[in-house]
Structure formats: C-alpha cells, structure tokens
Amino acid sequence: MSKIGNAPITVPIAVTVQIPGDFVEVKGPNGTLTHSIPHGITVSREGERILVKTKKEDKKTKSMHGFYRQLLANAIAGVEKAWEKRLEVVGTGFNVKLQGEDLIFKLGFSHTVTFVKVPNIIFKVEGNTKVIVSGIDKQKVGQVAYQIKILKKPDVYKGKGIRYQGEIIKLKPGKKVKATTGAA
C-alpha cells in the first residue's frame, strides 16, 4: 500500500482540475498541463480534494500509484506557482547573458556557447553569473537545468563551471599537495 499514493491532493482556489476520460487537465494562472492516467489507476474528485486509487493490486499498478499521485500534485503546484531551478556560473571570465530568449555563455572555450530557448521554459539572468530556469512542468524545468549544467560541469580541481545554486563541490587536492604529504 502506497502511503504517498493514498494521500489526498488539495486543490487551491485558483486551480481547476478536470478529469475527462483517461487524462487529467490542470488549469491555473500560469498555464495548463495534462497528464494521461495509466490503465490500472483511477483519479476522482471529492470537493476540493483529488484522490488517486488503484483498480488492481498487482505489482506494476502498486508501483505507479504514488508516482502518478505525485505527478498530479506537482502539476497542481506548478500551474499555481512556477517551479524554478537556480544555476551559478563560477570561474574567472565565465559569464552568461540573455540575448533575446536564448542564453549566451562564455565558459573558457574559444567560442561562446548558445543555449536555445525551450518551449514553456522561461530563462532569467541575475547579474552575469546566475541563471534562473522556471516553468510549470517540474520535470522539464529540472531537465533543462541539467542540460545547461552539463555545458561545462564543475572542474574537480578548481571548481570552475556551471553548478546548481548552493551545490557544494568537493575539490580534489592537486599534485603539489600530494607530493608534500607523501614526502614527510
């Protein structure tokens, strides 16, 4: 029995949820999201709450129960207040700017790197080293933020690169530190 799957989802006043057939449509001030419902799961509305239940008790259906409940909860939260991920560009001479709706990075390469706008995702730049990726779909926001991060992963010796805000990079000691500790 899934503890997460059995928890009801409270629907805020600004959000409307419709369940026509085998998909759920969530509308809010920030936009609309739709999710299909798999075969063994039912979604029902009771007042201001959404309940996700299973039709069958097989292993596959039970494993999807909590997952689909959380997808619906994230959709409801996203259309009310957009999800966001914050990234930092760290390194001497490394920076980012917004050109139109695309991101232009200087990451120590011989050329600039352009990250093209993704539909339903909004980019913001604070200063010239912080990027905010926001949107109503939590999974898509996380995926785009990761794609930006892998343009230049943080270096394990100096820490230069793109990282999530607040992410701690454990730096490796260099050759000079290894040589002095081994000689003693």
178 against 59, higher pLDDT: 59
User: C-alpha angle with apex 132: 127 to 133, nearest 5 degrees?
Assistant: 150
pLDDT band at 39 (very low <50, low <70, confident <90, very high): confident
What element of type H or E holds 183? Answer: helix 175-183
Domains and CATH numbers, the chain: 3-80 (3.90.930.12), 83-164 (3.90.930.12)
173 against 181, higher pLDDT: 173
Q: What's the chain's average pLDDT?
A: 91
Full-model pTM: 0.86
Query: Contact, 103 vs 147, CB < 8 A?
Result: no
Render pLDDT for 89-145 as a digit per residue (tens, 0 to 9): 999 999 999 999 999 999 999 999 999 999 999 999 999 999 999 999 999 999 999
Render pLDDT for 138-157 as a digit per residue (tens, 0 to 9): 999 999 999 999 999 999 99
| Residue whose structure tokens are 């909590």 | 66
Structure token pair of residue 108: 């120590």
Cα separation of 183 and 93, whole Å? 36
Give 51-97 as a DSSP string: EEEES--SHHHHHHHHHHHHHHHHHHHHHHS-EEEEEEEESTT-EEE
Of 7, 50, 42, the C-alpha closest to 26 is 50
